[in-house]
Structure 1
Amino acid sequence: MRASILSLGEAVIDFIPAATEGEGGYRPCLGGSPYNVARALGRLDIPAEFGLALSTDMFGDQFMEGLAQSQVGTRFLERLDAPSTLGFVSLDRTEPAYAFYDTGAADRICTGIPDDDALAPVGLLHFGSIALAREPAASAYETLFLREAGGRRLVSIDPNIRASHIRDETAYRARLDSLLSQADIIKISGADLEWLKPGVSHDSAAAAWLQGRARFVVITQGKDGVSGWSRVARGHADAIPTEVVDTVGAGDSFTAGFLAGLHDRDLLSPETLGDPSGDAIASVLSCGQMVASATCARRGANAPWRKELPGFGSLRF
């Protein structure tokens, strides 16, 4: 049995701008960065799981249906009698802007984490986004992350920072610094890196993280493509031109794509990840770009299926 990827964090009903009878309005879509990653992985035929909590309300039912339709497992999910997180999206800027409404939400109040035995089928745990900023769940995720770091499974992180949602910036920065120093795989956008480490070059940031536990650092650069670093090499993949409908979920789709590329090549274990070569890095980054480009051509975080990506499985090094 192939080891699965467990994506952990929030699920958000994204209200995306949409014209309604000639007037401005919003269309609800399933979203949330870790949720998007899990669904995109499932559509790429990767054994995928999502955790840790969803609401029992009607939106929670829709989230569950979305996971089932995308072939995502739910063994690490609990349903709580609490509301779902709602997010309103603005597309008036280069990067989407969000306003979240999550007081008492199921994915914010969950604190239970799986034990080591339950995680036996999992090869990688993926963390990130607002789940790491919302208590009490954020502390639970931090505990799980640090417990797993350096153990039998890999841990990856995409901070996916939503600065407007952070209430205690000092504590949040300290948490991210701690987690980034312990991650095996780091994926971060250029915009998030600038917020986290103003003025620090991409090369310098990658080099610093690779002096810690990290074996693979990926920094996305929008229209300028994406670069990746290991301890021995650097690789790059250009952006793929597409007719953009919106960029909601594009970063999450990229994350799923490059993790799927690593999974296809049996590199997602502490024993096999090693120090990827430049060709290996470029190959898996290209996988991510293919998935992200296809997502940008659709409305909302609607990642493609593997069968819709000719050549995805043949990208080798």
Structure 2
Amino acid sequence: MTASPRAVVIGESLVDLVWHTGADVIRPLPGGSPANVAIGLHRLGHPVTLITSWGDDLPGTLVSRHLSVTGLDVLRVPAASGRTTVAVAYVDSATGSATYDFLAAWDPAHIPIGPDTVVLHTGSLAVVVEPGATQVLRACEQLHGRPGRVVAADLNVRPAVQPDRAAYRVAVERLAGVADVVKASDEDLAWLWPEHDPAESARALLGHGPRLVVLTRGPQGAVGFSADAEVSVAAPRTSVIDTIGAGDAFQSALLASLLGPHPDGTDAAHVPTGGQEVERVLRQCVMAGALATTRAGAQPPTLDELRTASFVRP
């Protein structure tokens, strides 16, 4: 293995236009699920590169400024459209929950994967918006199955960019076939397979190839599914400001667990599958997600914040 194992996160950087119900002010905030995940993993102390693209437009200027001050290693790849994706995030002022609409562009010309990459993460718009989704799948195929390497995906289903449920299912199943770890929310799976309980759908995803499927359930916590175990973890109680970026903070903590150290003492990436190990990982993940809900916008916790936070059961 290399001396400095690295995670690579592939996907969109965008601008969220945050609109609180009952208010007349719309606030532009830089974000995008893959960008948020990469920033969160960087804050947890792991080497990570974000491979993304944005346009030379006003939203792109905001994205560029934001990423430049994070300390994150960013590889901006050229895109044919020259546009930056914009999302409208409608935030319920009473609950802090958010729903989204998108003006999406995702068309990277090339996605290079370096030899020091041990974990590759993707998801959200990047795996369904073409032509970029095909490029992302090829990058996953390039790493999948190699010893000591792990491909992880957060479905983060966005019907606004692909309302065809059958087409979305095909994209998800293809992605699951080249992923070692898949995360999805109960809302994701309820939309994809409304005829099934989300837990049933999560178990079915295991049949496509992942070694671990994680189902997030918002304030009810998370469940991990593997061939060896099924583990539920409760979420801590928090005072919610909004839920923007909470799932991304959860995913950052999940990726951090994959990066090691490996039980055999090497720097190889490792997928937890045993019950006790999955439980330990999920406890860190739900805490990271809970901490993110206590501040406005996508603000994942630092390593110190995560280490000092106490887990409070409901």
TM-score range, shorter chain: 0.7 to 0.9
3-state SS, counterpart of residue 28 of structure 1: strand
Deviations 1:236-288 (A, max 9, x none): 22111111000011111111112213324437x99663552111111111111
Match of 1:232 in 2: 228
Distance in structure 2 (CA, Å) of the matches to 1:202 and 1:170:
17
2:117 pairs with 1:128: no
Match of 1:38 in 2: 38
3-state SS, counterpart of residue 118 of structure 2: strand
What is the letter of the counterpart of residue 111 of structure 1?
Answer: A
C-alpha contact (below 8 Å) 2:212/2:272 kept by paired residues: yes
Match of 1:110 in 2: 108
Deviations 1:283-312 (A, max 9, x none): 111111121111100000111211223347
Runs of 4+ in 1 over 4 A off after TM superposition: 269-272
Shift, 1:65, TM fit = 3.9
TM normalised by structure 2 equals: 0.86
Shift, 1:62, TM fit = 3.6
Match of 2:77 in 1: 78
Match of 2:155 in 1: 159
Write the mapping of 1:1-317 to structure 2, written as runs, cut at 5 A. Answer: 1-17=3-19, 24-74=24-74, 76-78=75-77, 82-92=82-92, 95-102=97-104, 105=105, 108-114=106-112, 118-152=113-147, 153-166=149-162, 168-266=164-262, 273=270, 276-311=273-308
TM-aligned CA distance change 1:170 to 1:201, over 3 Å: closer
What is the letter of the counterpart of residue 160 of structure 2?
Answer: S
Distance in structure 2 (CA, Å) of the matches to 1:274 and 1:262:
6
3-state SS, counterpart of residue 24 of structure 1: coil
Unaligned stretches of 5+ residues in structure 2: 310-314
C-alpha contact (below 8 Å) 2:258/2:271 kept by paired residues: no
Shift, 1:139, TM fit = 1.8
Shift, 1:17, TM fit = 2.2
Shift, 1:182, TM fit = 2.6
Distance in structure 2 (CA, Å) of the matches to 1:198 and 1:254:
24
C-alpha contact (below 8 Å) 1:146/1:179 kept by paired residues: no
Unaligned stretches of 5+ residues in structure 1: 313-317
3-state SS, counterpart of residue 54 of structure 2: strand
Shift, 1:167, TM fit = 5.0
3-state SS, counterpart of residue 177 of structure 2: helix
C-alpha contact (below 8 Å) 2:10/2:51 kept by paired residues: yes
TM-aligned CA distance change 1:192 to 1:167, over 3 Å: closer
3-state SS, counterpart of residue 259 of structure 1: helix
TM-aligned CA distance change 1:236 to 1:24, over 3 Å: same
TM normalised by structure 1 equals: 0.86
3-state SS, counterpart of residue 259 of structure 2: helix
**Number of residue equivalences:** 302
C-alpha contact (below 8 Å) 1:190/1:219 kept by paired residues: yes
TM-aligned CA distance change 1:271 to 1:212, over 3 Å: farther
3-state SS, counterpart of residue 130 of structure 2: coil
Identity score, percent: 30
Distance in structure 2 (CA, Å) of the matches to 1:235 and 1:134:
33
What is the letter of the counterpart of residue 204 of structure 1?
Answer: E
What is the letter of the counterpart of residue 16 of structure 2?
Answer: D
Shift, 1:131, TM fit = 1.6
TM-aligned CA distance change 1:271 to 1:234, over 3 Å: farther
